[in-house]
Amino acid sequence: MGRQRPDTPTLEEVAARAGVGRGTVSRVINNAAGVKESTRRLVQQAIAELGYVPNLAARSLAGRRADAVALVMTEPDWRQFAEPFFSEIVRTLGDTLTETGLQLLLTLVRSDTERSRFLEYARGGRVDGVLVMSVHADDPLPDMLAEARLPTVLLGRRSGDESISYVDADNVGGARSAVTRLVEQGRRAIATITGPLDMYAAQCRLRGYQEALDLAGLPGSASLVAEGDFTEESGRHAMAELLSRHPEIDGVLAASDTTAAGALTALRAAGRRVPEDVAVIGFDDFPLARRTDPPLTTVRQPLEEIGRAMVRLLQEEMEEPSVAWRHVILRTELVVRESA
């Protein structure tokens, strides 16, 4: 067997192997016009024989594309990756990007070290744009990407003053419609289990809950609010805590379907019937909502539309980097099933 090369081949070595100039090799790599087909084949053969890998940073500086988009997941809690929301969004974005010819690269960025490393990677021309999901209020990554002039679109937003391009659902309106249904059913002691309140989506769903109570003239109380983290476990614990404080609870809005599933488990353990004693509404409309006992009334987020809108905005920023940031908020829909 021959001795393995101690380092990667250079552009000059490819040129020497093909018997052409360095500029000709560069034009072939960048798929530029003006190269004879026979010469192009010689260069491509030399690249294959030497195992040459083009310098992506140099191609980026030359105005070329990597034909890849990074999906950055910034959630520091590993449990969150088991939640349906993540898999549904990844699937939707992957399907949408397949139609564009862009490759989807999934990466986790959860610390200062990982942020710096990813920023260096992205600035090196390895991706044409960045999609960011699960952003918390104090996450500096979107601003770092903006300062680096990298096309970026967020799923959701860090606050009501978000300047980076984003696509979001109408979380306030969705929560308001859910609580309004509970009120219309005659529920008067309505509680809510929120998501993590350092996330703007969770804050908005809490605001919608409070607005609906105000509109109905029902008294609000901090003791009717329990903070969760979108997981089933947090829903179970929060529901048990709420029942201990307010045994009279007859309606619950949970900030996600998985949280609602946990609440159903706690209500069953406490001997409460759903919906006869306590009506429960979730948020998201994942397949899980149809499998709970009873099937879950929930607020549907238009995940397919969200994915398509994110890709569309990112492509627009990739084509016109100087355009203003864009903000898109999509409508939600209350899906009525047996739990409320």
The answer to whether domain 68-169+304-331 and domain 171-300 are alike in fold is: yes
Contact 304, 321 (CB under 8 A): no
d(CA 91, CA 31): 31
Q: Which of 199, 79, 67 is nearest to 133 (CA)?
A: 199
Per the rule left: phi > 0, alpha: psi between -120 and 50, beta: everything else, 149 is left
Q: Which two tokens stand for residue 178?
A: 């859910």
Q: Note the CATH number of domain 171-300.
A: 3.40.50.2300
Q: Which CATH class is domain 68-169+304-331?
A: alpha beta
What are 105's strand-pairing partners?
70
The residue type found at 20 is V
What residues does each domain of the chain span?
A: 11-54, 68-169+304-331, 171-300
Name the DSSP class of 37: H
pLDDT digits (tens, 9 = 90+) for 163-193: 899 999 999 999 999 999 999 999 999 999 9
Determine the average pLDDT of the residues in 134-138: 87
- pLDDT top residue among 152 and 3: 152
Determine the average pLDDT of the residues in 269-285: 97
What is residue 80's predicted lDDT score, i.e. its pLDDT? Answer: 58
Question: How do 129-133 and 68-73 pair as beta strands?
Answer: parallel
Confidence of residue 3 (pLDDT cuts 50, 70, 90): very low
Which CATH superfamily is 11-54 part of? lambda repressor-like DNA-binding domains (1.10.260.40)
User: How many residues in total does the chain contain?
Assistant: 340
Q: Whole-model pTM?
A: 0.79
What is residue 105's predicted lDDT score, i.e. its pLDDT? Answer: 93
Confidence of residue 219 (pLDDT cuts 50, 70, 90): confident
pLDDT digits (tens, 9 = 90+) for 43-82: 889 888 888 766 544 444 445 577 899 999 887 766 556 6
Secondary structure element (H or E) that encloses residue 194, with its range:
strand 190-194
Cβ-proximal residues to 291 (8 Å cutoff; 6+ apart), any chain? none
